Chains A and B, each alone.
Chain A
Amino acid sequence: MRFYLQKIGFYVVALWAALTLNFLIPRLMPGNPVDILIAKMGAAGQPVTPGTRKALSIALGQGGGGNWLQQYGEYLVNLAHGNLGVSVVNFPENVTTVIAQALPWTIALIGLSTIISFLLGIGLGMFAGWRRGSWLDNLIPVTTMFQAVPYFWLALILVLVLTRVFPIFPYAGGYNVNSGLVPGFSLQFIGSAIYYGFLPALTIVLSSIGGWMLGMRNMMVATLSEDYIVTAEAKGLKPSRVRLTYAARNAVLPSLSGFAISLGFVVAGSIVTEQVFSYPGVGQLLWTAVSNDDYALMQGIFLVISLSVLAANLIVDLLYGLIDPRTRARA
């Protein structure tokens, strides 16, 4: 019990630190939302007059202001009520609504591709470690090369080849908007969404599978030299049983904790992926928020990201105790 209480206590402190940083960092950036709005209005051909700044400040609720300490207090109180404020870019829409629109896309795309990449990686890694020196070992340098190539470069090349030279996949978007599909749980929509998400998912899998594979292979090799494996083989167990339940189960432990942490980062999405593929997720939203000094929206997104990373870590910490009894025991 003490073990779990200590863990949870630590995460409460970490949460407070994350919330405070969320509040501080956006405010350290230069500029303010009214200036950016005025610049954009001028460029969009809206007449900007000396009265514009005053009216906008009143509209966006910056008339009174208040110092940072006051704002910090209000921020914490609002957070406790689940109120993340009003987005400036999407004024007067609530930040929660805006994030709720983007979140499912990112979770579906990045989440699924992370899971696929993990499963494929450890699967291949397991076989590569089991049969050292086979052709699978030659696959490892190839996958690590994909990981070493800058991600955006790989993505752009795939876009060029698979959407332009051979137009197999669409180049942008979350689903076919021209077909008049409405997002929902219809087979047609899900099919279209998967088709549109395939190429971005492919780039993510290609660029991350190498790490899982290499890690799993090496752990597998180490585990196979353990005495209990020899014992199992000597007992005459089937090779598939030795491979899966004796070697792989122990070899996968380090990868599993890495996997849980990378699941935490799923919400952060991949800003680059979403930019390259015009994917309507959180990464693109964050980009818009940052380039418009939309404090409320930035805070909201950072909050969701830090919460999910913390939650994933907490769950791993707690689960790890279950999976691997050695971490629980006090020597």
Chain B
Amino acid sequence: MTITRKRLLIGAAALAASAALALSGCSGSSGSTKSASGSNSTVTLFNGSVGNFTENFNPWLTTGAELQPTQGVIYETLFYYNMARSQDPVPLLGTKYAWNSDGTQLTITVRTGAKWSDGSALTAGDVAWTLNHYESTASLNTLGQTWTTKQDGDDVVLTFPSTSFTLEPQILGNIAIVPEKIWSKIPDVLKTTNTKPVGSGAYELDTFTPQSYTLKKNPNYWGTGDDAPKIETVRFISLANADAATSALESGQVDWMGSYLPTLKDIVKKHPNVAYVNTADSTTSIVTCSNADLGCTGPQTDVAVRQAIYDAMDRTQLNAQALNGFGEPGSPTLLVPAVNKKWVADQANEMLPEGADAAKAKSTLEADGWTLNSKGFYEKGGTELDLTINVVSGWTDYDTVCTLLKGQLQKAGINLTVNQVAQNAWSNSETTGKFQLSLNSVNPGASASPYYIYNNYLNTAATAKVGSPSSTNTSRFSDPAVDAALKTLASTNPSDDAALLKEYGTIQDTVVKQLPIIPIYVNQALTEFNTSHATGWPSADNLYAFPEPWKAWDAGIVLKAIRPAK
């Protein structure tokens, strides 16, 4: 009996103690928040990470398991390729490069005087070792290409078996250069988490906890003046959702983030220190399983149906309702006009139509032999024009587009069914070709050059029969003229603009007619800044880097450029 009473008493005491702790916690923490805003040479960055950070600074990984500043902030490439505007590559660890005339040999001059963050010299030997290790390791070589690497004084010479102009941005701008003395001792470079990174970038790792980590200025950084980092500390945090991010931005706890915030315009009005920049990112498009020869089934294999969808959609309404008007008009050529206007060969193909043209869609279908049935939908040979579009449930802008499209296409006699699925199922059906329509985006490749978009999305070599996974060409598009043009482009010197434009023209003419991918609008990436701690962020007039904090390589450029606010 007495034992029981004691137990209950202990329980009550525990309860009281926890309540007391909770209260003391309340009062204790107000002090610690104050100390946070003390130093003004710190910027806090939210790059979309959710949950705990796993300590991983492996520069060889590209899967996103490596913490984001690994690429560009702690480790650097030879050159920096800006995707936000057309510009020449910016020299980083390389100072210049040159191709031989037939594109089989690339000579890179390595920067002299650069150092690793531990103070040792960075040499052409490190560059040669890195490039060679990448090329010779099957699990690293995402290019699937071979070459031989030779060091020649401060130069590194790569010799390719065939013309390889198109590998340039991937090799120069997407492989992190690492110190040979450390990495040559590791048998499988992918199997390490590299928790004490020694890099050449503007910042080095300072402290790490699973909820937040900080970088500090690298005292051995090669850059001087404008190229030197000016902010002392960079902190990375994780937040669960856009709601938390909004609060953090408004309260000044985050200085740099890249979330889509529907109410952004109001936030900027309320908070004079908050600024944003809206950058063209990728083209939101309907990917169609277009090629019956490779096993696609459904009405969308008929080009007239794809043309009708293209004409029947009201892009102004889609942009206004799905993106709050933050989207920009795209181009039927799949290029982003803001970045690649000069590569659209035919002016007529530059911009997508904005409003809906149901009448044109209907006449296209009727000319192809479709007739309206009693339900108001077209049919041909007894089969109704029913299409199913896959979309990831929870991607609200995509879901809105699909809901609106259903109504818009109905006016043109097309019956669209929206199939909301989990991301796994969505990506799986697109890769294996078991879909009719799929809402996705057309992403740029290794550089801003249109070649990479066309090669990834339209090359026969990048597709596969329905049932087997295609690597990047999920619409199963295959066209000999396009393949030939891509082949010519790959062996054309990248500085020969007229020759490139001619081939792009061939591809664009085919794509605009065939529409294996039906573009909707250019999805914009919103990046938000708080200017009370640092200034000099990228702006619409000066996109010196792609401003999103989640973008590989670009964060290093931005962090070098910003300076403490006065």
A residues within 8 Å of B by Cβ? 29-32, 35-56, 58-59, 87-93, 97-98, 101-102, 112, 115-116, 119-120, 123, 163-164, 168, 171-183, 187-188, 190-196, 198, 244-245, 248-249, 274-280, 284-285, 287-288, 291, 293
Minimal beta-carbon separation of A156 from chain B (angstroms): 9
Tell me which residues across on chain A come within 8 A of B552, comparing CB atoms. 44-46
Contacts of A48 in B (CB 8 A): 443, 445, 456, 471-472
Determine the main DSSP class of A at the interface with B: helix
Q: A304 to chain B: closest CB distance in Å?
A: 15
Given contacts A47-B445, A55-B140, contact A191 B237 (CB under 8 A): no
6 contacts between A and B (CB under 8 A): A30-B429, A35-B427, A92-B65, A178-B237, A192-B29, A291-B424
Q: Is B343 interfacial (CB 8 A cutoff)? A: no
Interface centre among B21, B62, B141 (most CB of A within 10 A): B62
Judge whether B211 is part of the interface by a CB distance below 8 angstroms: yes
Kindly identify, within residues 1 to 42 of chain B, every residue whose CB is under 8 Å from any CB belonging to chain A: 1, 4-5, 8, 11-12, 14-15, 18, 21-22, 24-26, 28-29, 32-33, 35-36
**Nearest chain-B residue to A194 (Cβ)?**
B25
Kindly list 17 other residue pairs between chains A and B, CB separation below 8 angstroms, not including A45-B548, A47-B174: A30-B424, A31-B423, A41-B63, A47-B445, A52-B471, A87-B54, A92-B192, A119-B14, A172-B244, A176-B36, A177-B211, A180-B35, A196-B29, A248-B8, A275-B241, A278-B240, A284-B51
Partner of A177, one of B65, B212, B428: B212
Considering only residues 421-457 of chain B, those with a C-beta below 8 Å from chain A are 422-425, 427-429, 431, 441, 443-446, 452, 456
Report the nearest A residue to B210, measured CB to CB. Answer: A101
Cα A93 to Cα B61 with chains together (Å)? 12
Alpha-carbon distance between A101 and B144 when the two chains are bound, in angstroms: 36
User: Which residue of A44, A115, A191, A288 contacts B24 across the interface (Cβ within 8 Å)?
Assistant: A191
Bound form: Cα–Cα A174–B209 in Å: 12
A-B interface, 5 closest residue pairs, ranked by CB to CB distance from nearest: A51-B144, A278-B240, A31-B424, A194-B25, A47-B446
A109 to B407 CA separation, bound complex (whole angstroms)? 47
Say whether B488 faces chain A, with CB atoms less than 8 Å apart: no
Pair A244/B444 contact, Cβ less than 8 Å? no
- A102 pairs with B247, CB closer than 8 A: no
Q: Judge whether B207 is part of the interface by a CB distance below 8 angstroms.
A: yes
Known: A31-B428, A291-B424. A182 touches B235 (CB 8 A): no
Within 8 A of A (CB), among B363-418: none
Contact A173 B471 (CB under 8 A): no
Within 8 Å by CB of A244, from B4, B209, B429, lies B4
CB A78 to nearest CB in B, in angstroms, measures 17
Q: Which of A38, A49, A279 contacts B143 (CB 8 A)?
A: A49
In the complex, A44→B551 CA distance in Å?
6
Contact A93 B424 (CB under 8 A): no
Selected from A30, A89, A175, A293, the residue in CB contact (under 8 A) with B211 is: A175
A198 touches B211 (CB 8 A): no
Residues of chain A contacted by B253 (CB below 8 angstroms)? 178
Contacts of A191 in B (CB 8 A): 21, 24-25, 28-29
The answer to whether B65 touches A291, judged by C-beta atoms less than 8 angstroms apart, is no
Q: B136 at the A/B interface (Cβ < 8 Å)?
A: no
Beta-carbon contact of B33 and A278 below 8 Å:
no
> Given the complex of chains A and B, what is the CA–CA distance between A88 and B212 in angstroms?
21
Q: Decide if A49 touches B472 in the complex (CB within 8 Å).
A: yes
The CA of A81 and the CA of B142, in the complex, are separated in Å by 34
B294 shortest CB reach to chain A, Å: 16
